[in-house]
Structure 1
């Protein structure tokens, strides 16, 4: 091939598609898009940025459409021919997924849990509220800082803790949970769960919950879950236990739920099973 010739002009479309679809590095795709107007048009027309993002984060398949917001104004397709509107839609998707793909290549590792939303049950509210799971210290105001479920005679009854994240867009790689050791009870029992599982998603509508609702229910009917992890074994130890997800998970919508499955510890006083979690409930992105 002569120097300076464009190989896209010499290959069948299917072969060009196969070559560019095989790219896994977002930086390579960005460089391809900037080679020439023809190459950029080929990338846009065939939604290569969208394909790359869908391979990395399959939950994006549920995205129905892309809407751009600039300076609090929503930009919808303009009036025109069907061909021009189709190209405008492709351009919008290209910009959105290119930005998403670029952000996903590198991200800061930091705690991404912002606020507690609700617990499926609470034994003594507000003394044992879910709010205490976000405290940075074991003891606050001379009192142990932890959340406690209500007691159950059936050890299989699960519990959930639901949180909002620092942003509607987070990439979660691991979540840490510390079971509570009741040093003030005989034998200092540890009220861990048997297993833990994680879900991420978004509210069905704008979520506005008062603090008083933290003691009521998990509000599961208010959320749509886009990802559910495998079950992880939790050990009955009073240590910060880190649960690393098999791959980074994209959470669009800013909601994380921790499912605590199975109870292992009875309380001597009433013979019921409890689950208790201390501080340092955290998710990292």
Structure 2
């Protein structure tokens, strides 16, 4: 092969290689480019794609690829009505195209942060507080607050929640909890039924089945008191997710109920439903349900996002509180540590704390002046 033929072959190879390295975003039609980039299901890959060039970044933003990835991973986000940023100022007047571009850029920032947090934040315990139980047999000794304690006894004192007794096995019970953020990606639930070691036969008061609901407070309704002053949970909360019914074993162990796929809780509330009673108490022949510990695992995005004004139709605003990396913020919280003593929200928590942690203090009454005088006279 002579020099001219070699040069011609080299040019053909370079042209082929150049075509293989072509910028398909600028070369292919829009639908094909969107289809290719939509195959990226890892948030990190989409971030890298948007960093290839200015034109790629503009393409990712213009066609809402970060938002679409979020919607594919968590369909609950289809209910987001609008995005709000902390310290957001009213938009200056401008052309409609400029306003649309700014809106798309804001959505890109928010959804890119959201999908990164949903996928990469560490999985940790997500329960922040225990709110209310559908019934309590012996308050405050058997309060729902006891289910936040991992141990089934504190010293000599048993730690558990107990429902009131019922003659029918079909009467359900519920426990309501507040999670650590308005947005939490929940992966699994764990419940430990209580074994009454102080009763004959050490019975275990589990239920036949358990079901979980996730949702938000219904801001359009004022709390209404039901019978006996109880809060009708169904009236004050909107449940955007309801799990299947999981069978519960009548065993004294922490039982794990893993969801088929991670679920995004919008609003930060969780309801546990206990269905079917299995154990009677020998003393009165009634059926009870007792739980010593409840645990929920997932990823909390509470420091990054707030859910704003959810309505009956399920639509809500999503407010970005900080664009800091959710994983770094979570690690900072762990390093700072948490106090072993939880702030007491109300009288119920105070009474429950005193019951579980009795103060071993002997009070010494001061001697009266008369007693001093009498002792002086005796001398």
Q: TM-score, normalised by structure 2?
A: 0.68
Deviations 1:30-69 (A, max 9, x none): 1111111111111111111111111111111111111111
Matched residues in 2 for 1:205 and 1:141: separation? 42
- 43-52 vs 83-92, greater mean Cα deviation: 83-92
Residue 250 and residue 263 in structure 1: after superposition, are their counterparts in 2 closer, same or farther (change >3 A)? same
| 1:234 paired residue number | 248
| 2:36 paired residue number | 19
Matched residues in 2 for 1:154 and 1:12: separation? 66
Matched residues in 1 for 2:40 and 2:47: separation? 11
Report the secondary structure of 1:121's partner residue: coil
Q: How far is the alpha carbon of 1:106 from its aligned partner? A: 1.7
Taking only aligned residues, the RMSD between alpha carbons, in angstroms, comes to 2.2
| 1:39 paired residue number | 56
| 2:295 paired residue number | 282
Matched residues in 1 for 2:160 and 2:249: separation? 18
With CA pairs under 8 Å and 6+ residues apart, which has the higher RCO, 1 or 2? 1
Q: How far is the alpha carbon of 1:237 from its aligned partner? A: 0.5
**Native 8 Å contact 2:137 2:163 kept in 1:** yes
- What are the residue-to-residue correspondences of 1:231-270 with 2, within 5 Å? 231-270=245-284
Are residues 1:68 and 2:82 paired? no
| 1:51 paired residue number | 68
Residue 76 and residue 64 in structure 1: after superposition, are their counterparts in 2 closer, same or farther (change >3 A)? farther
| 1:172 paired residue number | 186
Matched residues in 2 for 1:252 and 1:76: separation? 26
Matched residues in 2 for 1:26 and 1:76: separation? 30
The gaps in structure 2 that reach 5 residues or longer are: 1-15, 224-228, 299-379
Matched residues in 1 for 2:237 and 2:89: separation? 27
Match of 1:182 among 183, 191, 196: 196
Report the secondary structure of 1:155's partner residue: coil
Deviations 1:154-211 (A, max 9, x none): 211211111111222322111110001112222221110111111111222399x9xx
Deviations 1:192-231 (A, max 9, x none): 0111111111222399x9xxxxx83453322222211111
| 1:132 paired residue number | 146
**Native 8 Å contact 2:209 2:247 kept in 1:** yes
| 1:273 paired residue number | 287
Report the secondary structure of 2:69's partner residue: helix
- 142-151 vs 78-87, greater mean Cα deviation: 78-87
The gaps in structure 1 that reach 5 residues or longer are: 210-214
Matched residues in 2 for 1:190 and 1:75: separation? 57
| 2:314 paired residue number | none
Residue 62 and residue 76 in structure 1: after superposition, are their counterparts in 2 closer, same or farther (change >3 A)? farther
Are residues 1:10 and 2:27 paired? yes
| 2:115 paired residue number | 101
Paired residues in the alignment total 276
Residue 94 and residue 128 in structure 1: after superposition, are their counterparts in 2 closer, same or farther (change >3 A)? same
Residue 224 and residue 77 in structure 1: after superposition, are their counterparts in 2 closer, same or farther (change >3 A)? farther
**Native 8 Å contact 1:196 1:259 kept in 2:** yes
